[in-house]
């Protein structure tokens, strides 16, 4: 008899956002007259930028003509896109990243989930707590997280680094040295981040301890503070200890269009083995590239017009963040994030649990947010709101919450 | 120090088609005046069909407008596409497959590679030999294939079921009972297939032995023989022992557009556990859906006009197959396949090895094919040509080979 991967059975409940979607659908079904405002899942609402739309149309036309039709893409992605990424994201910041160190993919979620493939059993992973649940869940699926404790909501073999208001959301070096360190900065869900001097300490720590940092920079476009690095490769020595995952979802509205990339420098090695070669092998064997037309859309994001248009989108969302942040503060809530990230992280009122506050907001205010505890045990008692709604809905939601 | 997945180091050489691409690029670089005809990798050459192009443009316009913009797709894919698939591919054949048993993905290669995730260690896999290399390679990456023998080019723990001219390319039940059986029918690379009565035997075998069949039906659109099933779910009892992987690459030219799906019936269980629930969990955690515009393109493949246009493409390629098949037979070669599949499988002449014939064709005739040995040890002494070139190039290639 065939055997399933028993690690899947250890996973608690379903994926956070699937659970939320089910709850919201149930409420909406039972209350068809209620108008629900969704500030829960980090999904954008603005349409694709004109430059991106134009590039898509033009690429579709290429696909319609035998002389310009494109079949299988190059394993690691089209050079036009990889070169543009280097020129715009890395060269100006003197990161020393080369085009052949960029792997184009169908999104940061796929990459941050699939990356577990190239690591061996027995690696100890460390995560900031709370954090995007994909890191822990995918390691659990690989049997790398030990036993789940229903009460503490913690895995026995995961190193949790609490990021709470008491430590200003700054992770401390853990007692047990981890092999793989996930850093998501600006952080999802807390919306907080680290200045370069703090991130440099983590790079030094990883190099000293033989750890690898998986740096998720999906929200880098939202950074406004001067001293916050946009890439981990701005730090000295990062190329020997870090890889970086990037997304087009939040800077250019590609949540339903799907494009991302991972940067793995050749210098990142385990002994003599480049992680680059392992990831290249995985890409070549289990993936067949992002669609040509989507890669062309990605290139357009970096055109002069595309940069301006997508920056305007980011500003639009950050204006929402300001409205949420200031509205909640004015109403007496304790609020974090929302300055270098599109997420606002708030303490739940009246010592409500995160899910109690979720139910309260959904049932009483018809607003969907995300329970902080869904991002890890230290998220309990917090709640995430996103700035990705429309201006109108954001204003109405804050009015509903605060009145 | 972090540890890599050592299983990757056991893999022999690089992924077959990456190796071929490198060889061809090297030859082309050294011989810029030579015009190379590519009948190697199974990549299509006809442009996307007009209905598909029109659906893409229209979906791009939807993405350009806030009122019709689409963010994250539903976990398992849009219902409009899943319903259309059921109505067109499964209902007419009385397969009893429901829309919620369909998982939309970015392609059959991703699915056939990622599916290993949901199975446990210690499963014995069986493959027809030769076959699409992704099945064995991805199991090797998961540490499920034992030790690789450089001489025999076989893994110690893989059950190989030779499909050679001596057994009419029909796999026999192996001595050792496998847990997971990969069947790719019509077969890549041999272009041969099984009538329903033979496939039914495998379904019965799997049900009797508690094996699961991973049925790769990427080439079903090319079936012309009446008695060959298009889906394994045409067989009695298949829903309790099989899943099916389908692609838009070869029936609709989506190699560079990326779309596929996997069908997992709820009845397919290990004990009480539905494989459906595990794959749903993987989809929800490590994947974020195929792009909306691509799913709309997939829907257009099933429109009345789309069906006619893509059928015409299939006929065009099958005419190439006929030209290759008949040309080679006329020239005295031993040739198989090319009737229910776009692949022609030939014996190499003069007892050349597969790679010797590859080099001969590339260097002397400037034609790229695929060495049979790249698909498994029983492929040695064979060679694969594909019908996916243009009519003109196909005719010229056959002229070059036979003169």
B179: which chain A residues are within 8 Å (Cβ-Cβ)?
Answer: 1-3
On whether residue A6 sits in a domain, the answer given is no
- SS3 label, residue B243: strand
Q: Are residues A67 and A158 in the same domain?
A: yes
A66 and A141 housed in the same domain:
yes
CA distance B92 to chain A (A): 30
pLDDT at A19 over 90: no
Instruction: Point out the domain boundary residue: B278, B303, B328.
Output: B303
Q: Is residue B1, in this structure, part of any structural domain at all?
A: no
ipTM of the complex: 0.96
Q: Mean pLDDT over residues A72-88, rounded?
A: 95
Phi, psi values for residue A155, rounded to 5°: -90, 140
Model confidence at A40: pLDDT above 90:
no
| Cα–Cα distance measured from residue B229 to residue B220, given in angstroms and rounded to the nearest whole number | 8
pLDDT confidence of B402, banded at 50, 70, 90? confident
pLDDT for A364 equals: 95
pTM here is 0.96
In a domain, A4, yes or no: no
The closest of A387, A331, A375 to A137, measured between CA atoms, is A375
Can you state the angle between helices A50-63 and A304-330, rounded to 10 degrees? 140
A2 touches chain B (CB under 8 A): yes
Decide if B2 and A292 are in contact by the 8 Å CB cutoff. no
Inter-chain Cβ pairs, chain A and chain B, closer than 8 A: 247
pLDDT at B14: 67
Cβ-nearest to B69 among A47, A113, A286: A47
Q: Mind listing the pLDDT tens digit for each residue in B95-142?
A: 999 999 999 999 999 999 999 999 999 999 999 999 999 999 999 999
User: Region A333-338: what's the mean pLDDT?
Assistant: 97
Count of alpha carbons within 13 Å of A11, Cβ hemisphere only? 26
Reported as a pLDDT band with limits 50, 70 and 90, residue A403 is: confident
Note the pLDDT of residue B97: 98
Q: Which of A42-46, A91-95, A163-167 has the lowest mean pLDDT?
A: A42-46
Domain edge (last residue) among A289, A304, A319:
A304
Q: What is the count of structural domains for chain A?
A: 2
Asked whether residue A341 is assigned to any structural domain, the reply reads yes
Q: What is the mean pLDDT of chain B?
A: 96
Domain boundaries, position B377: 7-48+305-402
Q: What is the pLDDT of residues B166-201, one digit of tens each?
A: 999 999 999 999 999 999 999 999 999 999 999 999
Residues B264/B258, Cβ–Cβ less than 8 Å: no
- Same domain flag for A106 and A233: yes
Burial label for A151, CB within 10 Å (0-12, 13-18, 19+), is: exposed
For residues B13 and B71, state if they share a domain: no
pLDDT in tens, A145-192: 999 998 999 999 999 999 999 999 999 999 999 999 999 999 999 999
Q: Please give the average per-residue pLDDT across B347-375, as a whole number.
A: 95
Whether residue B241 is predicted with pLDDT greater than 90 in this model: the reply is yes
Between CA A57 and CA A340 the distance in angstroms is 33
Q: Test A273 with B41 for CB contact under 8 angstroms.
A: no
Same domain for B113 and B159, yes or no, is yes
Q: Phi first, then psi: what are they for B149, rounded to 5°?
A: -100, 110
Q: Residue A68: is it exposed, middle or buried by C-beta count within 10 angstroms (0-12/13-18/19+)? A: exposed
Q: Domain of B313: which CATH number?
A: 3.90.1150.10
Distance from CA of A253 to the nearest CA of B (A): 8
Task: Determine the average pLDDT of the residues in B349-353.
Answer: 95
User: What pLDDT is stored for residue A197 in this prediction?
Assistant: 97
- Judgement on whether residues A263 and A396 belong to the same structural domain of the protein: no
B212-233 confidence digits (pLDDT tens): 999 999 999 999 999 999 999 9
**B373 and B275 fall within a common domain:** no
Q: ∠B28-B30-B36 over CA atoms, to 5°?
A: 25
**What residues of chain B, 195 to 254, have a C-beta less than 8 Å from chain A?**
210-212, 253
Closest CA to B374 of B125, B124, B134: B134
Q: What is the domain-level CATH number for residue A166?
A: 3.40.640.10
Q: Across all residues in chain A, what is the average pLDDT?
A: 96
B291 and B143: one domain? yes
B341 part of a folded domain: yes
Same domain for B268 and B322, yes or no, is no
Question: Based on the domain organization, do B293 and B227 belong to the same domain?
Answer: yes
């Amino acid at each position: 008899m065939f055997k399933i991967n028993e690690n899947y059975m250890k996973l608690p409940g379903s994926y956070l956002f699937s659970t939320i979607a089910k709850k919201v659908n149930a409420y909406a079904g039972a209350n068809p007259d209620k108008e629900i405002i969704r500030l829960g899942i980090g999904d954008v609402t603005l349409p694709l930028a004109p430059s991106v739309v134009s590039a898509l149309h033009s690429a579709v036309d290429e696909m319609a003509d035998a002389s310009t039709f494109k079949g299988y893409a190059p394993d690691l992605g089209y050079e036009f896109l990889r070169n543009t990424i280097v020129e715009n994201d890395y060269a100006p910041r003197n990161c020393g990243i080369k085009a052949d160190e960029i792997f184009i993919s169908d999104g940061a979620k796929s990459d941050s989930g699939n990356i577990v493939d190239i690591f061996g059993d027995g690696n100890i992973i460390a995560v900031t707590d709370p954090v995007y649940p994909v890191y822990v869940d995918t390691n659990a699926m690989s049997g790398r997280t030990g036993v789940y404790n229903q009460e503490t909501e913690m895995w026995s073999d995961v190193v949790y680094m609490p990021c709470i208001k008491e430590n200003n959301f700054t992770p401390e070096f853990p007692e047990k040295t981890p092999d793989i360190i996930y850093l998501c900065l600006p952080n999802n869900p807390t919306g907080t981040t680290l200045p370069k001097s703090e991130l440099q300490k983590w790079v030094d720590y990883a190099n000293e301890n033989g750890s690898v940092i998986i740096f998720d920079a999906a929200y880098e476009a939202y950074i406004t503070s001067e001293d916050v690095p946009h890439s981990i490769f701005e730090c000295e020595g990062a190329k020997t200890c870090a890889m970086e995952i990037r997304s087009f979802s939040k800077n250019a509205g590609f949540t339903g269009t799907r494009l991302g990339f991972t940067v793995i420098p050749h210098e990142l090695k385990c002994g003599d083995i480049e992680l680059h070669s392992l990831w290249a092998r995985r890409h070549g064997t289990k993936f067949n590239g992002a669609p040509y037309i989507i890669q062309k859309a990605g290139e357009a994001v970096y055109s002069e017009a595309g940069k301006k248009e997508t920056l305007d989108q980011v500003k639009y969302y950050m204006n929402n963040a300001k409205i949420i942040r200031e509205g909640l503060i004015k109403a007496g809530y304790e609020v974090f994030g929302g300055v270098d990230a599109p997420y606002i992280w708030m303490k739940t009122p009246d010592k409500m649990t995160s899910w109690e506050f979720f139910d309260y907001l959904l049932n009483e205010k018809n607003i969907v947010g995300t329970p902080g505890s869904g991002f890890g045990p230290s998220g309990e008692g917090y709640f995430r709101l996103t700035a990705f709604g429309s201006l109108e809905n954001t204003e109405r939601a804050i009015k509903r919450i605060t009145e």
